[in-house]
Chain A
Amino acid sequence: MTATRRPAWAEKPTPIGQTFKTVVLTLLVLGVLFPLWAILVTSLSSRRRIAEAGGFVVIPKGLDWSAYQTIFSGGAVTQALWISMLITVAGTAISLTVTVLTAYGLSRSHSLGNRWLLAYFLLPFLIYPPLVPKYLVVTGIGLKNSIWALILPSALSIFNLVVLRGFFQGVPQELLDSARIDGAGELRILTRIVLPLSKAVVAVIGLFYAVGYWNVWFDALLFIDSNDLYPIQRVLQSYLLAGQAPITSGGAVGNTMPPTEAVKMAVVILTVLPIVAVYPFIQRHFIKGVLVGAVKG
């Protein structure tokens, strides 16, 4: 997909620069891979092995899938995966649509009401609603116990809006002007010129939204009462928190035991895995640029 060969005009890297780069990147990668390895191996180790190691297991000794069996046996995880996929896909689609439209609508600095609208959209970046009013609004419009409660309140992220608007503003003005002279409407300019030039940042914003929806947890605690609608993080977290009942009595409350170390680590793996799986597809869009020249021509 990309050129691996050095372009003719680029000079050879200096040995010092090359060494520096290699060392930094190797350290960074190892600094993540080592803990990740420990998490993975621990999640696949027996309780005895974990007890011997006294914490994280680094050297595997046999595979023990019981942690994953524990998590998947309930059936709740499978259901939650579907729900989360639904939320993520629908939510990201809605969020991207709204954000792209709003960002473009606000991108012309001298359009009518631009400054007022900008202020309107920026203020929620600074002030947050208290818990009870938020709960009252969401339940008041009948979203309680519906996946819309997990999508609509967070559908527009101001951070993403501002970033996207910034990129839209970087699109060369001549391109827009010439399209306008050709009589193109704004929607057409957005879809035919601005969006193709902004694929990379739209992919990034989409990733931010998707990750946000995939990780939704606290809103699910507040607004979802039915197990059938729990998103994945809500279910996975419950495995982590098992057995953390405040100890007040002779065992009566603490009937559920704390999760084994393997289960805790399996939860981390299951949290990270879908993201590892999806990331390369999104990454394609922004790691190597769109060819600006090609569009111009």
Chain B
Amino acid sequence: MTTSRRNFLELLGVGAAAIAAGPLLTGCSDRPASNGTAQNLDSITGVLPAQKDLTIAVKPDVIGTRPVPDGFTRYPASLVDAITAKPGTSGKKISAMTPVWGPAPPGLDKSAYLQAVNAELGTPVAFTVQDGNTYADKLNAMFGARDVPELLCVPGWEVEKIPRFADAVKVLFTDLTDHLKGDAAAAYPMLAAFPSGAWRNAVWNQRLYAVPNPTDTPFPYALYTRKDLLDQRGLSIPKSLDELLAMAKQITEPTRNVWAFSDVFQMIQMYFRVPASKGGWRLRADRTPEFKYETPEYRQAVEVMAKIYSDGLVHPDLVASKGADQNKLFAQNGAILFSQTGFGYWQGAQAENQKINKSLDIQPVPIFAADGGDPLVWGGSDAISYTFIKNGLPKERVEELLRIVNWCSAPLGTQEAQLRDYGVAGKHHTATPDGPVKTDLAFKEIANQYFFISGRNPTVGPFPETPHYVQDALGYSNAMVKFLERDPWDGVKLEMPARFAAYRVPAEEKITDLLRGRRPLSDLDALIKEWKDNGGEEARTLMAKALSEAGR
């Protein structure tokens, strides 16, 4: 019984924060437009910038097989001054909004970092730094009220949480096509150096509307294990599904507070080569689209995952509450030995937890196929974030803002990047042979503000505190990227039919019922039929149409 009634929407805010921890809505960015639309990006290459490598780029230490970025094991010994002219000319304060996960950094007048970077820019940027977990709530309110700053960061995963995003873009933001298409991009050399594929995601309504911040890994998921704990038990990283499952049974010892797994359904699906393109589609031999639910591979994956649950191999805390702390159970307590999470989890978790556990060794389990053949590795090319420029600004202002974004996009090895990432020497970092080391002031003041109004040609490292990481991560990535799923709809932007989109979560939850043993597995056929009747067939029609329109 609550005495002070809270507004329902406030509760939603809280809920959204609680859910943000888990990828609730994975998959492509489909919005419930009535019948769905397909935007074919192949036909609009004309609006994209011409890709041009930077001549000043530093040579990487480890080469990644594209789309895996290159890696740096050491900080570049000498830095180049990439941009000599100050990008800001007007001196008129720029308003910007970026997300942060953690305490909000101090504002302009109290931050030595912002002042230093702004001095280099010539025109000051005044940031509103907003809580990342409730960013979508804030964006929805701002979008609805059409109240946006001059530079706005929209994280890639928030795009699908905003209804009618394409309509919003048209009304709220500047069309950047004429500023950046083709050779026009040469005026912004840092932006022109982005991987050519990255820009395709920043196109809405056939026009270029944003500067993307390209992702630095093509993999959405990985299965991590505690190699240190496996070694203790005399075990090695499993190389097949049978080995993994047998090992899981062996290491699960509730009396010792050890369970094998977190929820690992995405991994199990990969092991059975369940398709994941555009949220779970592939082509049959007759080139008609087929959704993951309908495939025999999916059925096998469901059976295996349901067995994992019924055998009690998943940690009960994770079964009981979405609020349970999977990372703590895995990296700190060793209460689970195999954890499915985002690929980017690795470095940070290793660096943070090795502080109290010197022997900690987090390693990914290379992906295998259940039948022993070549595995299928899911991919994703969505940008980390997009930087939009407010609509209705004069041309000169737009150009100034783009020059600012260009400055902020300077790659590793430039003085600009060092100032952006590490602040001022002596204040925010101390120079060491391993590169700059941040001071306490840096952790307080630097919250990726300028990173979130820019992009950069993605690279990995250097991470002096985890010296093996760059080698390990690129080794894994280069091995896995060979098996990256080929998306037949690559480059096609889809807005799925409303009914399909609305039924997606209910359908997934019914599958969860199967996995957790609340419904018999034999119900799967009935679920597939329900899915077909609730927009599934409409979606198939759209997927087929999109393919033929793309001329494939």
User: Chain A interface (Cβ within 8 Å of chain B)?
Assistant: 47-48, 50-51, 54-55, 73-76, 125, 128, 130-132, 134-136, 139, 157-160, 208-209, 211-212, 217-219, 221-222, 225-228, 230, 234-235, 237-239, 241-259, 261
Q: Are A222 and B141 in contact (CB under 8 A)?
A: yes
Interface check B225, CB cutoff 8 A: no
Look across to chain B and name the residue whose beta carbon is closest to the beta carbon of A132: B144
Given contacts A130-B9, A208-B3, A241-B17, contact A253 B384 (CB under 8 A): yes
List, sorted by A's number, 6 A–B pairs whose CB atoms are closer than 8 Å.
Answer: A54-B333, A221-B130, A242-B103, A247-B344, A249-B343, A256-B102
Binary interface encoding of chain B residues 125-169 relative to chain A, with 1 for a CB under 8 A from any of its CBs, else 0: 000111111100110111011010000000111000000000000
Once the chains are docked, how many angstroms separate the CA of A73 from the CA of B439? Answer: 14
B132 touches A245 (CB 8 A): yes
Within B295-316, the residues touching A (CB, 8 Å) are none
Q: Is the CB–CB distance between A241 and B131 below 8 Å?
A: yes
Q: What is the chain A residue whose CB lies nearest that of B421?
A: A255
Taking the closest CB of chain B, its distance from the CB of A52, in whole angstroms, is 9
Q: How far is the CA of A109 from the CA of B341 in the complex (A)?
A: 61
Most buried by A among B104, B156, B346, B451: B104
Contacts of A228 in B (CB 8 A): 107
Q: Please judge, given known A-B contacts A135-B145, A242-B101, whether A248 and B156 are in contact too, CB under 8 Å.
A: yes
Contacts of B17 in A (CB 8 A): 237, 241
Mark B5-35 against chain A: 1 for CB-CB distance below 8 A, else 0. 1011110011001001101000000000000
A231 to chain B, nearest CB (A): 12
Pick from B14, B216, B217, B328: contact of A218, CB below 8 A: B14
Residue of B nearest to A252 (CB): B216
Q: Which residue of A lies closest to B448 (CB)?
A: A255
Contacting pair A74 B444 (CB below 8 A) = yes
A208 touching B4 by the CB < 8 A rule? yes
Q: Which of A73, A208, A246 contacts B20 (CB 8 A)?
A: A246
| Interface size class of chain B, counting residues whose CB lies under 8 Å from the partner chain | 35 or more
Name the one of A125, A128, A251, A254 contacting B8, with C-beta atoms under 8 angstroms.
A128
Most B CB atoms within 10 A — which of A139, A235, A247? A247
CB of B467 within 8 A of chain A? no
Q: Which residues of A contact B142 (CB under 8 A)?
A: 135
Give the docked Cα–Cα distance between A75 and B445 (Å): 12
Does B356 sit within 8 A of A, measured CB to CB? yes
B288 at the interface (CB under 8 A from A): no
Residues of B within 8 A of A159 (CB): 3-5
The B303-358 residues at the A interface (CB cut-off 8 A) are 327-328, 332-333, 335, 341-348, 351-352, 355-357
* Cross-interface CB contact of A246 among B104, B144, B155, B351, cutoff 8 Å: B155
How far is the CB of B156 from the nearest CB of chain A, in Å?
A: 7
In the bound complex, what is the Cα–Cα distance between A241 and B101 (angstroms)?
A: 6
A130: chain B residues at CB < 8 Å are 9
Given A51-B332, A51-B357, check contact A132 B5 (CB 8 Å).
no
* Chain A residues with CB under 8 A of B102: 238-239, 241-243, 256, 259
Contact status B21-A252, CB under 8 Å: no
Interfacial chain A residues near B3, Cβ < 8 Å: 159, 208
In the complex, whether B528 has a CB less than 8 A from a CB of chain A is no
Say yes or no: is B215 at the interface (Cβ < 8 Å to chain A): yes
Name which of A74, A209, A221 has the most chain B CB atoms within 10 A of its CB: A221
User: Is residue B186 contacting chain A, with contact meaning CB distance below 8 A?
Assistant: no
7 tightest A-B CB contacts, nearest first: A247-B342, A132-B144, A242-B102, A256-B102, A135-B141, A225-B128, A251-B347
Contacts of A254 in B (CB 8 A): 101, 344-345, 348
The answer to whether A249 and B344 touch (CB under 8 A), given A139-B147, A241-B131, is: yes
- B440 closest partner in A (C-beta): A73
